[in-house]
Structure 1
Amino acid sequence: MEKNKRTAFNIAMGAAFLMAMSAVGPGFLTQTATFTSQLGADFGFAILICILVDIGVQLNIWRIIVVSGKKAQTIANELLPGLGYLLTALIVMGGLTFNIGNIGGVGLGFNVLFGISPENGALIGGAIALIIFLVRNALIVMDRTVQVLAVVKVLLIVFIVAISAPPVGQAAYHAFLPSHIDFYSIVTIVGGTVGGYISFSGGHRLLEGGLRGKNSVRYINEGALTGIGVASVIRILLFLAALAVIAEGFKLNPLNPAASVFQSAAGNFGYKFFGLILFAAGMTSTLGSTFTSVSFLDYSRSEQKNDLYQKIRPYLVIFFIVFSTAIFYFIGSPAKVLVMVGAINGLILPIALAILLIAVTKKRIMGDGYKHPIWLSITGWIIVAFMAYAGVQSLIKGFSSLF
């Protein structure tokens, strides 16, 4: 029994770190530095909102998926036939496109560390990701890799914050009482850290680890809250590091604002640190995006195993990573496509969360004897309304930028 508890806890921690590290990828590093340079201490308010939304989203989605014993796409299909295929298309297309940026982050990390071209660095990163997924006990190897890279990322950012002495009091004050609220920064940071595939990475990891049913609620909560905690610590520390540099009067390089934070704080040594952080962020996000997107192609129910999915899964992983790496290598990051997918990505979260919140009221989907906490349902619907409005605004902005 003790062994089973330990195994369940390890699975929960694997899910926690997979979600957390997916949420603080290369895009988040750049967004945080950019918005902090524009808004200063007021950006702390956006970070706070992001953390609160994260709690409401992850606790709802993880619990509904694991208690039902079904992945999100299966739940959606049972609610309305065909709805799961639409959800899968949105997640996979978004994950595939954003993975170009993730693998690019790995390449840029290698470029900073060793001076090799970002394209060749991306090839090395893609090869590492393939090895991790295709070895025996791939899920365990993925969990351990993500956890080690998470520790590296946190320690390096803590070091930068420690030597830069940020204005913590000012940051805390403006986080709760901002002098200016920038709606676009909130939409961007929330959509980039909780939207798309990231919301489902933890819940699907728990299912693939064998956790399901009402008895798993304890591990759902432990995993979700740990993941939110780790991601939140990294978000806050990175914000403080950027704020410290800006408070000293340094101007961030708009072409690479995140790199200039570390370079301004610790010179060339800090710049190399940034390269390692960028590598860790890109690699963990690549693993999270690939795992979650591919998991959306599995339509097995409850404890049944989809034999066909298990057979073709390695080939799906290979295609996902090779395609993303090849696009970055030969074309680079297709800016207009990324803008459009980013806008669409803003709509995925409210659609998916609304589907699951309706499904949780259906006994035929959740089974008898389960009652979803009212506070979670209310919180979930508030987030759906907020993110639906934000997503529409992002979509309009995305279309207008194309013409």
Structure 2
Amino acid sequence: MTAESTTLPASPSGSEGGDLKSFAKKRRSSLIGAIFLMATSAIGPGFITQTATFTSTMGAAFAFGILASVLIDFAIQTNVWRMITLSGKRASDLANAALPGSGYVLSVLIVFGGLVFNVGNIAGAGLGLNAMLGVDAKIGGLISALLAIGIFLYKRAGMVVDRVVVVLGLVMIGLTLYVAIVSGPPIGTALRQTVWPDTINFATITTIVGGSVGGYITYSGAHKLLDSGSAGPEHIKQVTRSALTGIAVTGVMRYVLFLAILGVVSSGVVLDTSSSAANPAAQAFQSAAGEFGLRAFGLVFWAAALTSVIGAAFTSVSFITVFAKEGMTERTRNWWTVGFILVSLVVYLALGAAPAALLVFAGGFNGLVLPIGLTLFMYIGWFHAKKLLGGTYSRFLLVVGTLAAALSWYMAIVSIVPVFQFLGK
């Protein structure tokens, strides 16, 4: 029995009509959960802060960066979701099948980056609760981490994860949309500059793509699909629709957040982006909607951080399974996930914050994971489609995926240089 097959629910052949309906409902829930897990993982505390910073400096022209990140998402996520579904293997197992040993390298990079960034996610959850309820940030981080642990300790953790990420994702969209309406952004200007910007800043696109697609995020939704039993060519149309829906949800969340902050910036408010201690997103929400805006920001930031904690832990542990020769049961994976979150929490409580040098170093690793993983997938698509993907593979998707891989290598080189300069100081 392979590692990946141990966690996939079996189809209820021979079951009664009620069982079939229950199974179909569970699968739909898992598909929706996969969509929102990908979307909410891509909208973490770092992304929210980056969006506020770039919108403050670039104004409406940053809309083009949002569009570019969504198009790159399409090239990456569609290929990854389809290949993982066609093969029925997790990314690390699929990589090992094509190039022995490569899956282990990919797993180490993702687990390391996910663990370190989870320290930042827990810190972000603490800051969110601080803004929302006024509790101490360290206590807020502790409460949030324990909540995430409680989810994975529950015997039906998969179902709870699906529901939590969907509810929190909808809350994030709803509150941010409210602030966007209240702030009154120049919609016409934003739409024009989405496709015809006054200026194009490739550094911002690099940063946004690396932070919203790099590392574990690329694989979070696809691995969640495997847990729903959506493996094999018979599910490829459904999976493709889910991938496109996930990209659309991500794009909507990003654009609404951008509009909320653009409305504030366009009104003449100057956001403080001069120091690492500044919180421009919180300033924007408060400027737009007063005290309620600040509380709403706290809830949005907390929801983004908590779903990122869940996404990072779930996806990182799904890569650890490659080292288990006999595979892992779902219950065992949940215990590993609990341990993963506990280690992140202990580091956060010991340090009081996410250490800058460690986060910058992990950011460099995260930037490398995207091109390494995507290059492996393009290698599989071009040279091993018949053996591992069950036949021919879309040439169009391979071409756009290869272009995205080339771009991701450029972005990795651009982002890794400042990392070494920072660490060398």
Q: TM-score range by the shorter chain?
A: over 0.9
Match of 1:327 in 2: 347
Q: Distance in 2 between matches of 1:373 and 1:80?
A: 21
User: Paired residue for 2:257, among 214, 217, 238?
Assistant: 238
Q: Show the counterpart of 2:106.
A: 87
Query: Which consecutive residues of structure 1, in runs of 5 or more, have no partner in the other structure?
Result: none
Q: Out of 175, 180, 187, which is 1:168 matched to? A: 187
Alpha-carbon deviation of 1:175?
1.6
Structure 1 residue 184: Cα displacement: 1.1
Q: TM-score, normalised by structure 1?
A: 0.95
Aligned match of 2:295: 272
Q: Give the whole-Å Cα distance in 2 for the aligned partners of 1:312 and 1:377.
A: 36
SS at match of 1:298: helix
Q: 1:229 maps to which residue? A: 248
- In 2: Cα distance, 1:298 partner to 1:311 partner: 12
Aligned-partner residue type, residue 289 of structure 1: A
Supply the distance in 2 between the matched residues of 1:306 and 1:215 (Cα, whole angstroms). 27
Cα distance in 2, alignment partners of residues 319 and 294 from structure 1:
10
Tell whether 2:339 aligns with 1:314.
no
1:367, CA displacement in angstroms? 5.0
Match of 1:196 in 2: 215
Aligned-residue CA RMSD in angstroms?
1.7
Which of 26, 29, 52 does residue 45 from structure 2 map onto? 26
> Quick one: which of 83, 86, 89 aligns to 1:70?
89
Give the counterpart letter for 1:163 in structure 2. V
Report the Cα distance in structure 2 between the residues aligned to 1:89 and 1:329, rounded to whole angstroms.
Answer: 24
User: For 2:372, which of 335, 343, 351 is the aligned residue?
Assistant: 351
Deviation for aligned residue 1:312:
3.9
Q: Distance in 2 between matches of 1:348 and 1:314?
A: 24
CA deviation string 1:64-93 (max 9, x = no partner): 001100000001111122111100001001
Deviation at 1:364? 6.4
Residue 58 of structure 1 is matched in structure 2 by: 77
The runs of 5 or more residues in structure 2 that have no matched partner are 1-16
Percent of residue pairs identical: 43
The answer to whether the Cα contact below 8 Å between 2:271 and 2:280 also exists between their aligned partners in 1 is: yes
5 Å-filtered alignment, 1:176-215, equals 176-215=195-234
Taking structure 1 as reference, are residues 74 and 364 closer, same or farther at Cα in structure 2, changes over 3 Å only?
farther
Q: Is the 8 A contact 2:186 2:263 kept in 1?
A: yes
Aligned length: 399
Structure 2 contact 114–316 (Cα < 8 Å) conserved: yes
Alpha-carbon separation, structure 1, partners of 2:326 and 2:314? 16
Please give the alpha-carbon distance, in whole angstroms, between the structure 1 residues aligned to 2:307 and 2:257. Answer: 17
Deviation at 1:217, TM superposition (A): 0.8
TM-score, normalization: structure 2? 0.90
Find the residue that maps to 1:250 and give its secondary structure: coil
Q: Is the 8 A contact 2:81 2:243 kept in 1?
A: yes
In 1, distance between residues paired with 2:100 and 2:149? Answer: 34
Deviates further, 319-328 or 13-22: 319-328
Matched, 1:290 2:313: yes
Is 1:390 matched with 2:411?
yes
Q: Deviations over 1:161-220 (max 9, x none)?
A: 111110011111112122211111000000111111000001111111211000111221
Say if 1:310 and 1:9 are closer, same or farther in 2 by CA, change over 3 A.
Answer: closer
The corresponding residue for 2:14 is none
Aligned partners of 1:237, 1:318: CA distance in 2, in Å? 33
Match of 2:360 among 339, 351, 362: 339
- Separation in structure 1 between the aligned mates of residue 26 and residue 291 of structure 2, nearest angstrom: 43
Q: What amino acid does structure 1 have at the position aligned with 2:368? A: L
Q: What is the CA deviation profile of residues 334-385 of structure 1, one whole-angstrom value per residue up to 9, with x for unaligned ones?
A: 10111121122112111101111211331564254x3211110000000000
